[in-house]
Structure 1
């Protein structure tokens, strides 16, 4: 059988391995860490379980498709629940909004709490659905680097609607024109952070994202987010995929403009096909350093990063749900600090993810596991130790003000993840969570293709290449790649 090497056991790497195994290839996955999943991993800390990375689950059919591809019934291996409330939103003035999955209930909630007419919410979600209908088949399910993508009926349909797809406006301007209340604008601007972007610069096409969360739905895997990784990892092994951990690839071997394997420190692995799931920028700097460098792509600005405090909290807060947002008073200033000043704003927006709301054994009885995160700049050599200390104080003060509590004495365990450790653990360039930034209208075209145009049988998957970051897009990158391999 022809051999395939997958570099990296992130979610896109595992999905790629499954797709190649289903095509009849002999597949080996090489992973530098001791565990699968990359960012989508988990850890235990003194009786608390934490999902380490992505916390939002949408488009579950992308996971289910892999089981069906292997001839399995997805529900026999992976179960999940649709969330009745996507998120709880909090503001300093006491305003609170429950983002109900029921669209009419959500529209009524926003009108009651924020004074935003229900009709504006309905219209915004209809526009989001319109953008998805026209752009998803092109930008999410196809390679942008093949002429066939642009010469078909679906592409023509898009060309005729360009003015309505948000390409010529920013997310913020589009939301400002749509809504009457600044808090509603802020709520919908938040979706730019789903791929590490700035709503004041990123194109309004990113208003596609609310469609995923509201019109389709947000979900929670019954065993936690890591079960996405774990269930697919088990499927891959059942299909005969061989995983080798604690093994760092040193070089992709190329002969005559064609891959013929990879080298590690002590071994050579021959292969007909090599699939790179490592961050594209760091891959070219290391394992592809001898090959032609795509300088324009490598030099693009990077997305934002994250500062996460994993806290074991010795109390339950009934007002908190699975997903919670405590908004900054000055959203634009916060993003200016992240993207222009390379620093952390003194009043950051705080995201708290609490899986123990749905999975009780993730925390001891009467306690909660808080994944407490703020968006921060990627690593450019800042004084992170000082910035993290100041940010923790600001986060605690904000939580205390909004929840009317004293949270610090309730923190019994703590672990921190920040841009430097994100880069060291996941090989993400500068610790950026989503690869290159999406802060201009051409960003979709400034991601690396899912194949190499210079080296035959070398493919790329994961959040740093097309179509982008986040679980659904990483899985789709594997699908796009798999469709190219006959």
Structure 2
């Protein structure tokens, strides 16, 4: 008889975990509380406009392809994507604009032309980011940090010896200030701290590995939008025999003699050989394991930032905008201070706009665009989100109208809003945080919850709240690490 596995949650990591387990011969069942798969990575339509609801940046597609290769399936039959010629467009209040080209030489020349920064400085910085990834990032992102055998190799020893040169003991901002000099370029690369919901003024400089994921590997766009990733993984999982049950909210993980033996939902007990939680670790312990001893130090870690997102159907095409766009705050340090210290939103927030209709024309009516407008905000700790949302909306409209030179409010045909409360309700992400714990100290990576329970046998974890972190590539890697640590 094949061994059984129950996966709690059909997020990207849950789907990837189920696929890997099925490939190993497990009989796998996913129990998903929502009526749809994907967790944060789903989509919706409103009045003829289609929106990807959550993650909008696609990097490192080889981690998606790896799942199809593993299952001996032709990825192109399930999933297609194209590489973008530019990664992002940046807008500053003084009128400066920068296009980040996929070609690093071209990007470096753009920086030299617009900011007067020698192109060699940019290329040297990107080479440093690549070195961090190739020396240590690849090791620590693709292996468990909580297993002794990870540390018992010459490769890891060499990486550990080099870590001091990778700015572990100074902040991303401090390292960027030293290496880049120009305030606008520093701000551009400081922004990568938000890729794991942290502050560049607190996160360690070693996280300057993140730019390599975008500048080294490139940025991509899936045919059909970001939600095509979810659809492809669901199709692959089902073809591998995985059963996905929707609107099945697990109420308890059953533990007997220190071993996970199943789950309970709707008063029914379902037994299994292994339980994998794709839920955030905090609600996993607080709600599903209320009588078990919890790893309090881990659960009390500072949470990552959340998001306030406006989905706007825009009745016009703006050629100065690209697929990804950033409108910077003039006081970045104060913006992050208010997010992480004051737990509120700065009056002049940085604004991110994703417009998938720039690539997928059918995502908006002819002559129109679908704007995914996001501001980084703190997690929900009881703030008045109605008041905050109104204030942020006004600030965003003023900012965009000022920089783009036209009244944006008059272009909005329809609107939906997603705040931290709804993010938590929809995805069981504690406080609505997007990436689990923040990385605002030098040892945050080592304090993340491992991909297995150290006290409950046959209980494992995947997803953005555990090692190696949030974002599509790392969630996919969490599934790989989880399966590698299975002892069932």
* 3-state secondary structure, aligned to 2:288: coil
Asked if the contact 1:257–1:454 (Cα under 8 Å) also holds between the matched residues in 2, the reply is yes
* 3-state secondary structure, aligned to 2:321: coil
C-alpha separation between the residues in 1 aligned to 2:340 and 2:273?
Answer: 41
1:23-63 Cα distance to aligned partner (Å, 9 max, x none): 01100000000000000000011100000000111110000
Shift of 1:139: 1.5
Asked if the contact 1:224–1:359 (Cα under 8 Å) also holds between the matched residues in 2, the reply is yes
- Structure 2 match to 1:45: 46
C-alpha separation between the residues in 2 aligned to 1:391 and 1:355?
Answer: 23
* 3-state secondary structure, aligned to 1:124: helix
Alignment of structure 1 residues 279-428 onto 2, 5 Å: 279-428=280-429
In the superposition, the TM-score normalised over structure 1's length comes to 0.99
Runs of 4 or more, structure 1, over 6 Å off, are none
- Structure 1 match to 2:163: 162
1:247-301 Cα distance to aligned partner (Å, 9 max, x none): 1101101111111110002321110010000000111110011211101011111
Alignment of structure 1 residues 188-207 onto 2, 5 Å: 188-207=189-208
* 3-state secondary structure, aligned to 2:225: coil
Alignment of structure 1 residues 241-256 onto 2, 5 Å: 241-256=242-257
- Structure 2 match to 1:147: 148
C-alpha separation between the residues in 1 aligned to 2:478 and 2:216?
Answer: 23
Asked if the contact 2:356–2:370 (Cα under 8 Å) also holds between the matched residues in 1, the reply is yes
Confirm or deny that 1:268 pairs with 2:269.
yes
- Structure 1 match to 2:108: 107
C-alpha separation between the residues in 2 aligned to 1:296 and 1:384?
Answer: 28
1:179-231 Cα distance to aligned partner (Å, 9 max, x none): 12100000000000000000000001110011110111111101100000110
Asked if the contact 2:328–2:350 (Cα under 8 Å) also holds between the matched residues in 1, the reply is yes
C-alpha separation between the residues in 2 aligned to 1:242 and 1:226?
Answer: 20
- Structure 2 match to 1:122: 123
Q: Which moved more, 1:72-81 or 1:469-478?
A: 72-81
C-alpha separation between the residues in 2 aligned to 1:414 and 1:139?
Answer: 41
C-alpha separation between the residues in 1 aligned to 2:167 and 2:132?
Answer: 8
Note the residue ranges of structure 2 that are not aligned, 5 or more in a row.
none
- Structure 2 match to 1:221: 222
C-alpha separation between the residues in 1 aligned to 2:153 and 2:217?
Answer: 26
Shift of 1:484: 2.1
1:334-366 Cα distance to aligned partner (Å, 9 max, x none): 101101111110100000000000000000000
Shift of 1:102: 0.5
Shift of 1:159: 2.1
Asked if the contact 1:451–1:481 (Cα under 8 Å) also holds between the matched residues in 2, the reply is yes
Shift of 1:138: 2.5
1:366-413 Cα distance to aligned partner (Å, 9 max, x none): 000000000001111011111110000000000001100101011011
Shift of 1:327: 0.5
Confirm or deny that 1:447 pairs with 2:448.
yes
C-alpha separation between the residues in 1 aligned to 2:253 and 2:119?
Answer: 55
Note the residue ranges of structure 1 that are not aligned, 5 or more in a row.
none
Asked if the contact 1:138–1:144 (Cα under 8 Å) also holds between the matched residues in 2, the reply is no
Confirm or deny that 1:135 pairs with 2:148.
no
- Structure 1 match to 2:484: 483
- Structure 2 match to 1:468: 469
Shift of 1:332: 0.5
C-alpha separation between the residues in 2 aligned to 1:401 and 1:180?
Answer: 28
Shift of 1:136: 2.2
1:305-332 Cα distance to aligned partner (Å, 9 max, x none): 0000000000000010000000001100
- Structure 2 match to 1:431: 432
Cα RMSD between the aligned structures?
0.8
C-alpha separation between the residues in 2 aligned to 1:115 and 1:331?
Answer: 21
Asked if the contact 1:137–1:154 (Cα under 8 Å) also holds between the matched residues in 2, the reply is no
Asked if the contact 1:259–1:274 (Cα under 8 Å) also holds between the matched residues in 2, the reply is yes
C-alpha separation between the residues in 2 aligned to 1:358 and 1:333?
Answer: 34
* 3-state secondary structure, aligned to 1:286: helix
In the superposition, the TM-score normalised over structure 2's length comes to 0.99
Shift of 1:160: 2.0
Residue-pair matches, total: 486
C-alpha separation between the residues in 2 aligned to 1:317 and 1:261?
Answer: 53
